[in-house]
């Protein structure tokens, strides 16, 4: 791999992955370095040359874009490959692949399902297929078979099975191995043994990376595989490489921050999401503002808030508000519009601001399709109103959250958003009960929200809950003077979201009030080390004063 920088190869070595294929032999993949339309690197892929020389560059670029989950551009490249070679089977396969988004919070439209099925039929009709071509087309036929009559969860199960079969047909095929890894991640969320499935998916991707240190799909899927609290440290080597292998691809740049967010490395998350946001702005989709920009903006605002860089967090929102023209309709767009202003208010415990947040803004978004994101705004309004003492407004928000649970449950994607809405409703009702003096009922409801949260994992569309139920349980326990239990709740929040500012402060303050100065010092030191030096946020001021001593 002489084209890979020595420093890059040195980082790869920390993965310690054996690359031997069954039988003790090592495959020799056909490796192609790929660039985008501007000449910027997209990393490498390993696809045999099966189409003519005019179509092959488009085919490889389409595959690299597919691995980078830049699906619209990938579909366009596969279409160009088909135009350059009317017998290029993998061009039609690639178009069918581009309509499937296994890890995203969207599902194919009926039209996309029909086009995918037609693409596979076109591929089979071209000529006699090679063994690889047959394996790749067969891998997708289960997903598209009777697709309109099946749920996305069922379709993704077929996708995972199809790629497992393709990999078993030729274990030395690195691309099939990667798509098997992706399929495993796609179905892991619905499995009891999620962590073990994702570990295996990561292992497969690491095997490819050991052979091709700049394989864009291997880097990407390692990050997704290890995007869990207990596995995130394993993803750090890939996170530190991926954004440099595909330095102009918005999604690749952003994906690094999935790991940096999981481990609480705010500065790294900010650095890559700034680049991702700019790349998203520079590359609109069909003339519309890209959701890649808005997705990066949400992660960026979250990281700024944990660093107490509030001015820059507010600027993220101001830039979003200033967007002119149409916005590409993708779930990441409305999520960001709901979550960013909610985070800005709630992270700073500005209850009055939270209670008056706009709902279903901007009006150009088809909010009726996103009840689970409307719930974010209602949650912020309800919690803000309850904490500010406006109980009528809080109750109104709680009722609205209850109404949103049914449409959230009816969403076609596999992730259970209804549970998230239930957590939000229980939290708002908990703080209403707390405000009217029903401490036992308040605590029971808050524990209910907390237990529900523990039973779930965050969706990749979000860097984290707008406010974790564990943290809010800690707040309630601390206000009740139950400091030891409060520390336990804050620690639970920190286990899922390391270095969260308010959880660190809450744990430190509870330890201080519980008479454990050593523990308080530890939490406060971690808190102060992670924020900008100029911050005058009262909790940070208190932490600094404690650390300075009497």
DSSP string covering 88-106: -HHHHHHHHHHT--TTSS-
- For residue 154, the model assigns a pLDDT of 96
Least confidently predicted of 13-22, 147-156, 498-507: 13-22
Tens digits of residue pLDDT in 473-531: 999 999 999 999 999 999 999 999 999 999 999 999 999 999 999 999 999 999 999 99
Count of CB atoms within 10 A of residue 544's CB? 15
pLDDT at 20: 31
Classify burial at 122, counting beta carbons within 10 Å of its beta carbon; exposed 0-12, middle 13-18, buried 19 or more: middle
pLDDT over 80 at 550, yes or no: no
CA angle 155, 291, 97 (to 5 degrees): 30
pLDDT at 196 over 90: yes
Of the two residues 51 and 1, the one the predictor is more confident about is 51
Average pLDDT over every residue of 114-135: 96
Chain center to CA of 241 = 18
Q: Assess whether pLDDT exceeds 60 at residue 27.
A: no
6-225 and 473-550 have identical folds = yes
pLDDT at site 16: 27
* pLDDT at residue 5 in the model: 35
Q: If one looks up domain 473-550 in CATH, what number appears?
A: 1.25.40.10
Q: Which residues lie below 8 Å from residue 106, measured CB to CB, with a gap of 6+?
A: 330, 331, 413
> Strand 41-45 vs strand 32-35: parallel, antiparallel, or unpaired?
antiparallel
Confidence band, pLDDT 50/70/90 cuts, at residue 8: very low
Instruction: Find all residues with CB under 8 Å of 227, minimum gap 6, and list them.
Output: 235, 258, 259, 262, 460
Report the SS3 class of residue 469: helix
Give CA angle at 255 (252, 258), nearest 5°.
170
Q: Say yes or no to pLDDT of 419 above 70.
A: yes
Residue 18 scores a pLDDT above 70:
no
Residue 514: predicted pLDDT: 98
pLDDT in the model for residue 25: 34
Query: Which of 152, 151, 153, 148 has the alpha carbon at shortest distance from 110?
Result: 148
**Residue 536 pLDDT class (50, 70, 90 cuts):** confident
Any idea which of 27-41, 53-67, 70-84, 116-130 has the lowest mean pLDDT?
A: 27-41
Taking residues 423-449, what's their average pLDDT? 98
Q: Is the peptide bond before 362 cis (omega within 30 degrees of 0)?
A: yes
Residue 474 phi, psi dihedral angles, 5° rounding: -60, -40
Q: How far apart are CA 160 and CA 162, in angstroms?
A: 5
Q: What is the mean pLDDT of the chain?
A: 93
Give the architecture (CATH level 2) of 6-225: Alpha Horseshoe (1.25)
Q: Binning pLDDT at 50, 70 and 90, where does residue 29 land?
A: low
Q: Is the pLDDT of residue 243 over 50?
A: yes
Burial of 501 from C-beta contacts in 10 A (0-12 / 13-18 / 19+) = buried
Give me the pLDDT at residue 534, please: 79
| % pLDDT > 90, the chain | 92
Q: Strand, coil or helix: what is 45?
A: strand
**Rg of the chain over CA atoms, in angstroms?**
24
44's enclosing H/E stretch is strand 41-45
pLDDT above 70 covers a percentage of the chain that reads 95
Q: What are phi and psi of 32, to 5 degrees?
A: -125, 125
Please state the domain extents for the chain: 6-225, 331-467, 473-550
**Total Cβ atoms within 10 A of residue 439:** 13
In this predicted structure, the answer to whether residue 23 has a pLDDT above a threshold of 60 is: no
Q: Is the pLDDT of residue 298 over 60?
A: yes
For residue 143, the tally of other CB atoms under 10 A from its CB is 30
């Amino acid at each position: 791999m002489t084209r890979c920088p020595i420093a890059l190869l040195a980082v790869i070595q920390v993965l310690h992955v054996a690359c031997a294929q069954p039988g003790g032999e090592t495959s020799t993949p056909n490796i192609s370095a790929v660039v985008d339309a501007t000449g910027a690197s997209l990393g490498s892929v390993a696809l045999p040359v099966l189409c003519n020389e005019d179509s092959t560059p488009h085919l490889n670029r389409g595959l690299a874009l597919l691995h980078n989950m830049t699906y619209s551009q990938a579909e366009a490249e596969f279409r160009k490959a088909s135009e350059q070679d009317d017998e290029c089977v993998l061009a039609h396969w690639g178009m069918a692949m581009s309509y499937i988004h296994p890890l995203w919070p969207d599902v194919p439209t009926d039209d996309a399902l029909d086009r995918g099925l037609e693409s596979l039929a076109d591929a089979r009709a071209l000529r006699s297929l090679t063994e690889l071509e047959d394996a790749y087309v067969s891998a997708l036929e289960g997903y598209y078979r009777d697709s309109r009559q099946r749920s996305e969860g069922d379709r993704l199960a077929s996708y995972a099975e199809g790629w497992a079969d393709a990999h078993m047909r030729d274990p030395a095929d690195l691309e099939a191995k990667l798509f098997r890894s992706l399929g495993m991640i796609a179905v892991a969320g619905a499995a009891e043994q999620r962590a073990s499935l994702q570990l295996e998916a990561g292992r497969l991707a690491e095997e490819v990376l050991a052979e091709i240190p700049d394989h864009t799909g291997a880097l990407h899927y390692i990050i997704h595989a290890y995007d869990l609290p207990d596995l995130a440290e394993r993803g750090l080597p890939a996170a530190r490489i991926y954004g440099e292998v595909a330095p102009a691809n918005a999604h690749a740049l952003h994906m690094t921050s999935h790991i940096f967010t999981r481990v609480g490395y705010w500065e790294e998350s900010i650095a890559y999401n700034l680049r991702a946001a700019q790349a998203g702005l520079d590359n609109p989709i069909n003339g519309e503002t890209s959701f890649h920009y808005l997705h990066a903006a949400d992660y960026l605002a979250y990281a700024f808030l944990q660093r107490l860089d509030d001015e820059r967090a507010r600027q993220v929102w101001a830039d979003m508000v200033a967007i002119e023209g149409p916005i590409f309709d993708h779930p990441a767009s409305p999520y960001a519009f709901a979550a960013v202003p909610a985070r800005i208010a709630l992270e700073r415990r500005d209850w009055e601001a939270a209670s008056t947040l706009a709902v279903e803004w901007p009006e150009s978004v088809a909010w009726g399709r996103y009840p689970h994101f409307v719930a974010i705004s209602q949650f912020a309004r309800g919690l803000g109103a309850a904490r500010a003492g406006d109980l009528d407004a809080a109750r109104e928000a709680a009722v609205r959250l209850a109404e949103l649970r049914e449409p959230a449950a009816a969403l076609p994607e596999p992730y259970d958003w209804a549970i998230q809405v239930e957590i939000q409703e229980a939290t708002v009702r908990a703080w209403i009960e707390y405000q009217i003096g029903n401490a036992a009922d308040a605590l029971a409801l808050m524990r209910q929200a907390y237990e529900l949260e523990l039973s779930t994992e965050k969706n990749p569309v979000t860097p984290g809950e707008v406010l974790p139920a564990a943290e809010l349980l800690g707040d309630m326990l601390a206000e009740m003077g139950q400091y030891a239990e409060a520390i336990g709740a804050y620690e639970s929040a920190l286990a899922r979201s390391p270095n969260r500012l308010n959880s660190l402060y809450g744990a430190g303050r509870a330890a201080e009030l519980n008479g454990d100065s050593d523990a308080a010092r530890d939490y406060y030191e971690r808190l102060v080390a992670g924020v900008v030096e100029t911050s005058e946020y009262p909790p940070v001021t208190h932490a600094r004063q404690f650390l300075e001593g009497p």
